[in-house]
Structure 1
Amino acid sequence: MKYMRLNTPKFCLILLLFCFGMQEVNAQKASWIWYPGDFDIYMSNVMQNRRTERGSFFPPFWKMDSHYVLVDFHKEFNLAAAEKVKLYVEGAYNVKIDGQALFGFPKTITIPAGKHKLSLKVYGQANVPAIFVQGKTVVSDNTWLTTFEDKEWIDASGKTSDKSGTTFVNAGTWNLTDPLTPPSKFKLPVTPMAAVKTEKNGAGFVSDFGKETFGFVKLHGLRGKGKLMIYYGESKEEALSTDKCETLDALEIDLSMKKDSVIGLSKAFRYVNCQHEGSVSLDSISMLYEYAPVAEKGSFKSSDVELNKIYDVAKYTFQLNTREFFIDGIKRDRWVWSGDAYQSYLMNYYSFFDAPTVKRTLWAQRGKDPVTAHINTIMDYSFYWFLGIYDYYKFTGDEKFVSEIYPRMKSLMKYINGRQNKNGLLEWMPGDWIFIDWADKLSKEGEVSFEQLLYCRSLETMALCANLAGDVAGAAAYTKHAATLRTKIFDLYWNNDKQALVHSRIDGRQTDNVTRYANMFGIFFDYFTPAQKLAVKQHVLLNDNINKITTPYMRFYELEALCAMGEQAYVLKEMKSYWGGMLNLGATSFWEEYNPAKKDTAHLAMYGRPFGKSLCHAWGASPIYLLGKYYLGVKPLTAGYQTYIIEPSLGGLSWMEGKVPTPEGDIEVYCSNKEIKISAAVGEGKLRFKSSSKPVVKNATVTEISKGLYEIVVKKGVDYSVKYAAVK
């Protein structure tokens, strides 16, 4: 391989890929590393700018940041013997051992025995500066330190400063362990899939792949000269609508011999309508299904066949929207929306428990300083980002990540605090989008109570993370601010006559409007007194006069609030009606919005377009979370499930069983009206349940904590079988 000179146009990307035979048997595992968050931001830019709308480029609405172009990597090693080390680098680079630069662009070096510091400085404009270092013990991983600026100085004698103001942080990685596949070449895996049915349609044909799917269309036996039009549809109606379908490909063909070809951009579809002109002919199509290789860890099964199908379809919906990041929907946006991703994190903890994708998505959403707008330009979406970090720590116990991302939390919160009005509240300012939900006539005017609740919870999250990051002064300030705001919320928004939080204040006065949003969040945030919770449940959540929610996005939170109030039986009926209603209409994945009052193709329309609605939307998969947290009843009490609680609730089911994943293994639950079985691979838990008679369990002590409410301590690695009588 010839080296590029530094004065050539391509010198910003020098990729040295060398293979030196078999790795030593005892060599430690190396991975590609970069400045933390940089590849996440780069890859999210690549992914989000793949969106097209009827063949036109459709970029995101918000500011997109980039990676740092010059990055220093280093680590100190203490070697028992000299060690040969292989270097793979993406970018132009230099190498230093103990501060002494090596000549040229070495692809292999020898580090002498003893204590030495290995440093690489890498420049990359087009791609993220990244390194892969492989020796027997000298390997690149996230213990390496990195920086994007050397705050060094040199005196007149040429001596480098003894002290530096440089901030070094641990390197980032996606566990990319193939030195011959650098980060810029990363792709999700694919697997072949065939259409289940093909019908002739005009000059071409329509192929049905049986269910919603995602990937690359493969053309078989393509030949001739002319145009080939491919129209994609999540529904057959969309694929047949050549002038209104959301996505399409227009190909100019000039082939004298038959050829198989793969379409360049991945798409979401169930149906594919192929139409050709001129002498173009095509034998058939298949697809390469593109997927994220996540393991299915969580599970749920019950006595209700329809509920089991809802769970399975929800899990498939979520899997389709789990890609390099958690995205909103696979057909239209394919963007990293913070509100959508926040729900995906929660579903993930009860299904795949894929912590790396959560971290990647959080890095990608946040981007770089300086902060000039809310995440995705949406005020509430900035707050969901904070909440996502709180939940990540609660479920995983990963303090290191919290410390790494805390500086970017501080700068975003500083931006938000700077936008308070004279009352210390937040309201719309130029450049803001207050979303809340897709709902007709939902006012965003004035000081909206929902935004203040999310703001308060985000300040509480900042206090928690400040303590984890060692910022004692910050923790105290955030705690005080949150307490002040929480008091203010109830002073300004609680209405005794309505027994609820009102929707907003305009010109310093409460509006008459009561909506579900702030009230249901106040329940599972545990902001209400017991009396207020009961009042909100009666006057808001179970009140048909309050505007109903029609998106799965906010149904997620509405049903969670009801579950938190012990209404599992009611919620079960709602799940069967709402998600079952989509299944009855032929859904193979769950939608962005579902209104039972709509008829026929009206279910496909949104945003003023006949096929604008996403029929595979991440926020449609919320039964995964509800069934794991509130029916199987498994919840962490302390970070990483070191302590947890299991409160199974059948909600009208005869029996249910399932697994909830944790960082150290699964918690398995079986529950019927007569028996509860528990097995856990983590921490120490409490099984809490109601019984009309005293329960019997052989290997644990049963404690009655109140009349009819019992508890046993669950130890790691012990199987429990509890005989009891469920309270009806």
Structure 2
Amino acid sequence: MTSSEAVFAQKASWIWYPGDYEVWMSNRMQNRRTERGSFLPPFWKLDSHYVLIDFHKDFVLDAPETANVYVEGQYNLKIDGKALPGYPKKIEVPAGKHRVSLKIYNQASVPAVFIEGKHVFTDTSWRVTYEDKEWIDASGKTSDISSTKYFPAGSWNFQDPKLAPSAFRLPVQEQKAADVQKEDHHFFADFGKETFGYVKLHNLKGKGKIKIYYGESKEEALDTQKGELADEIEVNQPEAADYTLEGSRAFRYVNIQFEGLSANDVSMLYEYNPETRRGSFKCSDEEINKIYDVAAYTLQLNTREFFIDGIKRDRWVWSGDAYQSYLMNYYLFFDSPEVTHTLLALRGKDPVTSHINTIMDYTFYWFLGIYDYYRYTGDQAFIKNHYEQMQTLMNFCLKRRDQDGLMEGLPGDWVFIDWADGLSKQGQVSFEQLLLCRSLETVALCAKIAGEQADAVTYDAQASDLKKKLFSYYWNQDKHAFVHSRINGKATDNVTRYTNMFAVFFDYLNEQQRQDVKKYVLLNNQVPKITTPYMRFYELEALCALGDQAKVLKEMKDYWGGMLKLGATSFWEEYNPAKSGAEHYAMYGRPFGKSLCHAWGASPIYLLGKYYLGVKPETAGYETYRIEPVLGGLQWMEGTVPTPKGDIKVYCSKVEMKISAAAGNGVLRFKSKSKPSCKGAIIKSLGNGKYEMAVSGGKDYQIKYSAI
């Protein structure tokens, strides 16, 4: 996969029923998880692809044309409704208007087709369905009327007819260890940093066992009893030859023990998604630069076939983790297909029988992912094609509301929120109502895009009603904040950070409420602190949205810098500075249960791009955008933010800004002690030291000013 869009107007591609490949591939990927050699499947229901698919497209040709045909599955191919004999590898399409159609059956993998001709070729303009609802009368005539609903075909950028979708693998690259300590029948290798791939033994010879213990830390690799990942393999190799293990693993250190075997070296095949880093950030603070680089590497490692949570333990597609990866992705790779692939893999099939990943809030994060995807990309086609899936998932949620019209955990629901000791999940939790409210707003927006105006009115009304309840039931004037929950119809006195900080960047609060939340919640040490990077992401976003980038910069240096001081080469699932030594690696009651490379640990990418460089879309797909640089205690900073229309580049010091954008129309907003100037542009004063300037694509701007 690359960041190319999955629409190939002039090039043939493998196609299938939309969403099916994501479901099939995610099943295959998520069922690779092992713990010490034991298979550990996901906790939730897994769907499957449709096994029989109908494909068709109408062509108008000026001249006859021959096209090659490649298919995954058994198939029946027709031209103008007339079946061709056997399994043709070529088709002859006459001049004029003709329909090419075929049905493909495949139980093992996704029914897929690749047709390659000059004008007759497969792409996402083909129409597909999993049920054609046709019927034949007594004379043998096929019905003229059908209720069949066809959809645009699904596709990734698989444009090699000889490389079938079911054979897809991420690429690998051989890498040497930074250090290998060799003893008789024992290697201990350090690859220098967190990595992912396949261990390769060189000149392995003999008959016996190989025991391999992997570690994100040296302590884990040395603990042969309690490390999370281990393999034991029987080998019979009379002649010396290289041997690559079948299973991909996460590690930095590898402890290899030979019984009856010998080898002369060890390396690895690094497995990766070849993403291009379009986004960048550099500043006057070298520690922040290091934090950004390690965050980018962390996200890179966790960007695989889909956005996953962590490379060691789960390697699953969790909606809450993925949602944060989407946001970071918009400021680093801007790989739109990776977002849609992950969204579709998480959504699965109808009927909906449980929350995504069984977690109530993770269902709502799925909707939030849709909201932001449209905001950053402007991709209306995706919204229209998958609106029904949004609607059926939302209807599932609405049917589970209680007598007050609120969400409350029912049997089988996991109310997660965060990993936090003593955090109540009982009753009507305000955080879940807040997420549902934003989800309703999302589906209303999508209904409008899909042309379903009546639905839009209904969902807008439900969102408005829920927002009123949110303030009526949970806002406590004395505490200047939302309380955590209601139990038996009565609001508790407990204040937590979650609902309050989300309400800030959802823009649900008036200015007085925003300042109250900042003072009485976010800056109040009496409110339980957040220890996971997962929720620290949102806490720091709320502070940035409130204009406190200076505090956030210090928090980043303390929190992420704290991990770097402990030798982290990727960012962790959780960090508590009060712990020491190997205590840092423990989680879930296991000494090495914590993931030391977790996607949600990479949030500085998003914060630095959106709230320091200050680049964000004002309208969908960056048709219009805002640039609002905030140094936040830095002397200078520079960076690039990718958009669908090209890159936006920002340089900012205390006396100068340089702005350029590839395309579109934006607005630069900033503060200055003195009157600013820019050759070739008009700077408008907004009063109180605030200024605004229009930015046009294709132009370079140099602004002289004096930072406040």
Q: Normalising by the residue count of structure 1, what TM-score does the alignment of the two structures yield?
A: 0.96
The structure-2 alpha-carbon separation of the partners of 1:399 and 1:41, relative to structure 1 and needing over 3 Å to count, comes to same
Query: Of 68, 93, 99, which residue of structure 1 is paired with 2:81?
Result: 99
Residue 526 (str. 1) matches residue 507 (str. 2)? yes
Q: 1:126, 1:680 → 2: CA distance?
A: 47
Q: 2:271, 2:621 → 1: CA distance?
A: 31
Residue 663 (str. 1) matches residue 663 (str. 2)? no
> Which residue of 1 is the match for residue 335 of structure 2?
354
Residue 237 (str. 1) matches residue 219 (str. 2)? yes
> Which residue of 2 is the match for residue 255 of structure 1?
237
Cα drift, residue 255 of structure 1: 1.6
1:37-48 to 2 correspondence within 5 Å? Answer: 37-48=19-30
Secondary structure of 2:332 counterpart: coil
Which is further off, 401-410 or 587-596? 401-410
Q: Are the aligned partners of 1:216 and 1:289 in contact in 2 as well (CA < 8 Å)? A: yes
1:43-54 to 2 correspondence within 5 Å? Answer: 43-54=25-36
Secondary structure of 1:350 counterpart: helix
Secondary structure of 1:275 counterpart: strand
Cα drift, residue 276 of structure 1: 1.3
Q: 1:260, 1:457 → 2: CA distance?
A: 54
Give a deviation string over 1:461-498, Cα, whole Å, max 9, x none: 01000001111010000000000000000000000111
Q: 2:488, 2:645 → 1: CA distance?
A: 52
Query: Of 108, 116, 124, which residue of structure 2 is paired with 1:134?
Result: 116
Query: Of 258, 273, 278, which residue of structure 2 is paired with 1:276?
Result: 258
Equivalent residue letter for 2:557: K
1:337-348 to 2 correspondence within 5 Å? Answer: 337-348=318-329
Residue 431 (str. 1) matches residue 412 (str. 2)? yes
Q: Are the aligned partners of 2:185 and 2:262 in contact in 1 as well (CA < 8 Å)? A: no
Q: 1:137, 1:496 → 2: CA distance?
A: 67
Cα drift, residue 203 of structure 1: 3.8
Query: Of 204, 208, 211, which residue of structure 1 is paired with 2:193?
Result: 211
Cα drift, residue 201 of structure 1: 6.0
Unaligned runs of 5+ in 2: 1-8
Q: 2:213, 2:436 → 1: CA distance?
A: 44
Which is further off, 585-594 or 701-710? 701-710
Runs of 4+ with >4 A deviation: none
Secondary structure of 2:438 counterpart: helix
Secondary structure of 1:661 counterpart: strand
Secondary structure of 2:557 counterpart: helix
1:360-399 to 2 correspondence within 5 Å? Answer: 360-399=341-380
Cα drift, residue 82 of structure 1: 0.2
Give a deviation string over 1:126-151, Cα, whole Å, max 9, x none: 01000000001111000000000011
Query: Of 596, 600, 611, which residue of structure 1 is paired with 2:581?
Result: 600
Cα drift, residue 706 of structure 1: 2.4
Cα drift, residue 155 of structure 1: 1.3
Secondary structure of 2:140 counterpart: coil
Q: 2:17, 2:137 → 1: CA distance?
A: 29
Residue 85 (str. 1) matches residue 70 (str. 2)? no
Query: Of 31, 41, 46, which residue of structure 2 is paired with 1:59?
Result: 41
The structure-2 alpha-carbon separation of the partners of 1:202 and 1:519, relative to structure 1 and needing over 3 Å to count, comes to farther
Q: Are the aligned partners of 1:641 and 1:682 in contact in 2 as well (CA < 8 Å)? A: no
> Which residue of 2 is the match for residue 330 of structure 1?
311
Cα drift, residue 373 of structure 1: 0.2
Q: 1:109, 1:479 → 2: CA distance?
A: 50
Q: 1:372, 1:601 → 2: CA distance?
A: 41
Cα drift, residue 202 of structure 1: 7.3
Q: Are the aligned partners of 1:662 and 1:682 in contact in 2 as well (CA < 8 Å)? A: no
Cα drift, residue 665 of structure 1: 0.6
> Which residue of 2 is the match for residue 713 of structure 1?
694
Secondary structure of 2:200 counterpart: strand
Equivalent residue letter for 1:97: I
Secondary structure of 1:280 counterpart: strand
Equivalent residue letter for 1:180: K
> Which residue of 2 is the match for residue 285 of structure 1?
266
Query: Of 55, 63, 68, which residue of structure 2 is paired with 1:73?
Result: 55
Query: Of 685, 696, 700, which residue of structure 1 is paired with 2:677?
Result: 696
> Which residue of 1 is the match for residue 440 of structure 2?
459
> Which residue of 2 is the match for residue 117 of structure 1?
99
Equivalent residue letter for 2:456: A
Residue 562 (str. 1) matches residue 562 (str. 2)? no
Q: Are the aligned partners of 1:232 and 1:271 in contact in 2 as well (CA < 8 Å)? A: yes
Give a deviation string over 1:603-623, Cα, whole Å, max 9, x none: 000000000000000000000
Give a deviation string over 1:14-54, Cα, whole Å, max 9, x none: xxxxxxxxxxxxx9421100000000000000000000001
Residue 194 (str. 1) matches residue 184 (str. 2)? no
Q: 1:338, 1:713 → 2: CA distance?
A: 38
> Which residue of 2 is the match for residue 411 of structure 1?
392
Q: Are the aligned partners of 1:34 and 1:129 in contact in 2 as well (CA < 8 Å)? A: yes
Equivalent residue letter for 2:254: V
1:542-561 to 2 correspondence within 5 Å? Answer: 542-561=523-542
Q: 1:489, 1:312 → 2: CA distance?
A: 40
Give a deviation string over 1:406-454, Cα, whole Å, max 9, x none: 1110000000000000000011100100000000000000000000000
Q: Are the aligned partners of 2:617 and 2:626 in contact in 1 as well (CA < 8 Å)? A: yes
Give a deviation string over 1:628-687, Cα, whole Å, max 9, x none: 000000000001101000000000000000000001110000000000110001210000
Q: Are the aligned partners of 1:28 and 1:136 in contact in 2 as well (CA < 8 Å)? A: no
Equivalent residue letter for 1:249: D
Cα drift, residue 115 of structure 1: 0.4
> Which residue of 2 is the match for residue 400 of structure 1?
381
> Which residue of 1 is the match for residue 468 of structure 2?
487
Q: 2:566, 2:516 → 1: CA distance?
A: 36
> Which residue of 1 is the match for residue 496 of structure 2?
515
Cα drift, residue 200 of structure 1: 3.5
Q: 1:511, 1:59 → 2: CA distance?
A: 38
Secondary structure of 1:580 counterpart: helix
Q: Are the aligned partners of 1:326 and 1:336 in contact in 2 as well (CA < 8 Å)? A: yes
Equivalent residue letter for 1:378: I
Q: Are the aligned partners of 2:296 and 2:602 in contact in 1 as well (CA < 8 Å)? A: yes
Query: Of 291, 297, 307, which residue of structure 1 is paired with 2:288?
Result: 307
